Chains A and B, each alone.
Chain A
């Protein structure tokens, strides 16, 4: 056995290395890794509750803003959700309580984002050449002088 000692030495070193690898792996590889595939399965549940949903849809505005909501639903902006022009509901209401004021952008640039005539918009979509359509000065809430954004037909 005298001359086989070096074999045992190597075996011992190997054993220590293997043990270190397994120990290190145990510490470094997340617990849920590999449950469903080569990724940390816990992240799926984390993504589900990553943040509260911010947009809640037009129906969520109706209880408090009935008149505006009805005007919108009856007019040609019926497919435009309230949150498109204002902001996500979460900016305004959380857990049924008002937490902040809703932004109201009255500038012509808001209307122009959809209705300014530019290349690319479908031909049948209502759009205007701002400089020709607005005869007064093109600034501020000029569109609202004639149009009601909740029911925009003249």
Chain B
């Protein structure tokens, strides 16, 4: 057990016969570390090479540069008459399957004696008069849709990278990647997503990305007869929507969840969740 070239090892020693071939624990660990380090450098290098290719042209080509826009939406609940034109317009524009909506209208009827909320078919066919057991003192409509949050719970839970937020601030679903697991449907605190029964993939409001990238307004804004809905660009200083958000008293839905919605509400009542 006297090896002049190696320091004495504590504990039980290896059988002498193995000595010649045994690289020794220290050597082995050293070599393994070197190998692991090398592999890490190699992988990191590949990753870095992929990201330094960064200056890729924006996906819209020359027609639309997503870095020049950041979209936002303003809903003035005091103007809504509950006609449901936005719900029908959205359905017609986006072929939303029967029984589902990408935007909908809720009605709140409230008084000291109680409150009542309804949204028959999302407001698709308008609203009927309803008898209430209490004496209402206020009633109003609240249009709802995807809030296109900056801190998106739905994107965070997607296991396959099918949900994402674009640079111009739109949250979308890649139908080709989506596996229809429905995590995002549950993660969205606003109930803005559903599983399309035909494609079995998650679907949601895209702010009519096929329209806004051509300079048009989303269909719901286009058909709103009262100016309840407004869509605008936060990167344009004179944009009416940006002016409203900058200067008026706006609120957002479920602010305590810190999702940073990009749909802003005017005249929102505290009854509304």
Contact = CB atoms under 8 A, between A and B. Distances in A.
A51 B222 contact: no
Interface stretch (B77-85, B246-254, B258-266): B77-85
Contact of B176 (A3, A40, A91, A120): A40
Contacts of A2: 21
B129 A118 contact: yes
Contacts of A51: 94-95, 210
B209 A50 contact: yes
Contacts of A55: 89, 92-93, 211, 216, 219, 222-223
B93 A39 contact: no
A48 B59 contact: yes
B127 A50 contact: no
A87 interface: yes
B89 A119 contact: no
A52 B216 CA distance: 12
B180 to A, nearest CB: 16
Given A30-B177, A55-B219, A119 B125 contact: no
Contacts of A54: 92-93, 219
B161 to A, nearest CB: 5
Contact of B21 (A4, A91, A122): A4
B93 A88 contact: yes
A96 interface: no
B21 A1 contact: yes
Interface in B43-69: 50, 56, 59-61, 64, 66
B177 A39 contact: yes
Q: How large is the interface on A (under 10, 10 to 19, 20 to 34, 35 or more residues)?
A: 35 or more
B60 A122 contact: no
A44 interface: yes
A19 interface: no
B270 interface: no
A13 B164 CA distance: 37
B41 interface: no
Given A3-B18, A4-B23, A47-B206, A84 B225 contact: yes
B167 A36 contact: yes
A34 B161 CA distance: 9
Give the one of A3, A33, A53 with max B CB within 10 A: A53
Contact of A120 (B85, B89, B127, B209): B127
A83 B222 contact: yes
Contacts of B78: 122
Which among A48, A88, A91 has the greatest number of chain B C-beta atoms within 10 A?
A48
Contact of A44 (B23, B60, B163, B208): B60
Contact of A83 (B21, B89, B132, B164): B89
Contacts of B209: 47-48, 50
B270 to A, nearest CB: 17
Nearest to B22: A3
Given A37-B164, A51-B210, A120-B108, 5 more contacts: A40-B162, A47-B210, A113-B85, A116-B129, A119-B139
26 contacts: A30-B176, A30-B177, A42-B59, A43-B174, A46-B176, A47-B172, A48-B59, A48-B209, A50-B210, A53-B93, A53-B208, A53-B210, A55-B211, A55-B219, A55-B222, A79-B225, A88-B89, A88-B219, A114-B81, A116-B126, A116-B129, A118-B128, A119-B130, A119-B132, A120-B140, A121-B141
Top 8 A-B pairs ranked by shortest CB distance? A39-B164, A113-B126, A44-B59, A43-B174, A119-B139, A80-B225, A120-B139, A45-B59
Interface of B: 18, 21-23, 50, 56, 59-61, 64, 66, 78-85, 89, 92-95, 107-109, 125-130, 132, 136, 139-141, 161-164, 166-167, 172, 174, 176-177, 206, 208-211, 213-214, 216, 219, 222-223, 225-227
Interface of A: 1-4, 30, 33-55, 57, 79-81, 83-84, 87-88, 91, 112-114, 116-122, 125
